[in-house]
Amino acid sequence: MNKVITTNDFISKLEDGMTIGIGGWGARRKPMSLVREICRSNLKDLTLVSYGGPDIGLLSSCKKIRKLIFGFVSLDLIPLDSHFRNARQSGELPEVVEIDEGMLQWGLRAAGMNLPFLPTRVGIGTDVLKNNPHIKFVESPYDDKEKLVAMPAIKLDVALLHVNESDEKGNTLIFGPDPFFDDLFARAASKTFVSTEKLVDSTSFDKEKVANYNRFERNLVSGIIPDEGGAHPTACNPSYGIDLDHLKEYSKSAKTFDEYQEKYLFVDEATYKKNVGGIKSITSIPLTKF
């Protein structure tokens, strides 16, 4: 089955009010071109789930988010995201579910395992539970009778991921050192859309590569969008690092967003790439040292 689609096809699969999970972590391997397409669309009232980076900042400033489920929002090299901060401080982000990163992992896992919840101690004794009264407790049925948090499944309508290579069937390879929680997003979602640096013929995959870098099955993948540089300005190891200069420009634009939108969002993705210096300049950004 050939799952390669265009960005227009991709947007046509999304609907107002959907719950969308975004893979990657902070400013690392985010499917940013897909995020930008959502910014360019008329979609609204989305619930977003993310180990947040500039994906959440951009979608906040574009007022696409009705509810955000998150543990943090950070640009890595720049600790805080000015767009997300603006949205929170101005009260423009209608609803937040701020939970421990581990609870986020548990919620995605529960959804992927088709369970209503997974038990954990995490959250007890903190404002995470005070601020989220929908998260209930459960008592251990065993002799210990321990009171545990029942972290509810976070079911996703759609997951968005960015990978290094994919074939047209959705066999993907992630070469970056950390696969993050992308597999959990894919399992928690009804549909997963993947942007890929390279569209390849899987007959070129060798066993060792597949064993190390194929992190989830192709049956989870609904659509492939070939897009070299699609993670920019976040990192996509080993092809390119975080574009710190761009993130600085992005950070400054929280107050004067019109100009940033004009240059990077009111244009198509090909023009975006041109406006940030072209694909060669993206792929020559040195890998980030942490």
Phi/psi region, residue 199 (left: phi>0; alpha: psi -120 to 50; beta: rest), is: beta
The four Cα atoms 244, 161, 53, 45 give a dihedral, to 10 degrees, of: 130
Element (H, E) at 138: strand 136-139
Side-chain-side CA neighbours of 235 within 13 Å: the count stands at 23
Element (H, E) at 172: strand 172-173
Strands 156-166 and 172-173, bridge-based pairing: antiparallel
Give min distance, CB of 169 to other proteins, in A: 26
Which of 74, 192 has the CB closer to other proteins?
Answer: 74
8 Å CB contact between 69 and 47:
yes
Instruction: Name the site residues for other proteins (rule: CB under 8 A).
Output: 25, 51-52, 70-74, 79-80, 84-85, 88-91, 98-103, 105, 120-128, 130-131, 147, 177-181, 289-290
Q: Please count the residues of the chain.
A: 290
